[in-house]
Amino acid sequence: MSEKQYLNETIRLLHERSTCRSFEDKKIPEEVLQQILDAGIHAPTGGNLQPYSIIKVENVETSKRLGELCEQQDFIGTAPVNLIFCIDWHLLKRWAEIEYAAFTATISFRHFWISFQDTVIAAQNICIAADALGLGSVYIGSVLECLRSFARCFNFRNMSSRWFCSASAIRNSGRNRSRNSAPKPSSTTRHIAKCRMTMSAPHSTGSMAIAASSKSPTSVLRQSVECARMFTAKTSQISA
């Protein structure tokens, strides 16, 4: 079988990236790590507010403690660098106070949801940059189960303005020693739905016709509607 051809190196990295849980005991050069982090802060964010902080952990004992907190995942303690991604509104709150403006981020589901996405996008930029420089990485989501313990570990006194981002809370970045085989996702048509917007009248909200390219368009539409209902209900609860 001939090797799969990609249009460029970036596309190849996106297709072949895989999780790495085994790391060499070797320090990452500072200039390499800095370029990786710079790739993260160049990720797009809503209004360019960059509502996140990244905690860099290189201390061995602290890394081992992180592994213990994350359900005894010992490989966390073997990575030369651990990065903890946090939604962080602290600086935005101070900015609002200086400008005598209302600060509602901590009570708005919309603010949380946008900040969550911004943080995840930054984390993924860093992950791809690490792969591009020959390093291995793995996302750790179990930090969600131990938020208070993390807060104590890093002396966070005000959890109302700092939230750990569960989807990409911890990444390990290290020289790759062994890597899982490239992931094999299901077909694209299972996840992608083709949508066509038809406006019934000027200034109206319009109607949406969905022609899903998957085999079960009804299930795709049902899931989308259910997600929209969940978000609407959550927003209403917070606003009440």
pTM above 0.85, yes or no: no
Of 159 and 119, the one with more pLDDT? 119
pLDDT tens readout for residues 133-144 = 888 888 887 777
pLDDT of amino acid 124: 93
**Do 169 and 147 meet the contact criterion of CB atoms below 8 Å apart?**
no
Of 174 and 124, the one with more pLDDT? 124
Residue 26 φ then ψ, to 5°: -145, 130
Q: What is the mean pLDDT of the chain?
A: 73
pLDDT tens readout for residues 70-98 = 887 888 888 888 898 888 888 888 888 99
Of 61 and 214, the one with more pLDDT? 61
Alpha helices in 18-165 (DSSP H): 30-41, 60-69, 90-98, 109-132, 147-153
CA 212 to chain CA mean position, Å: 27
User: Distance of CA 159 to CAs 55, 57, 124, 147, 198, Å?
Assistant: 15, 20, 24, 9, 44
Q: What is the CATH number of domain 9-178?
A: 3.40.109.10
pLDDT tens readout for residues 9-29 = 889 888 888 777 777 778 889
Q: Which of 52-56, 100-104, 142-146 has the lowest mean pLDDT?
A: 142-146
pLDDT tens readout for residues 184-224 = 665 555 556 555 444 444 444 333 333 334 444 455 445 55
Q: Report, as an integer, the average pLDDT of 109-129.
A: 91
CA–CA dist 234, 108 (Å, integer) = 10
In the chain, ranges of CATH 3.40.109.10 domains: 9-178
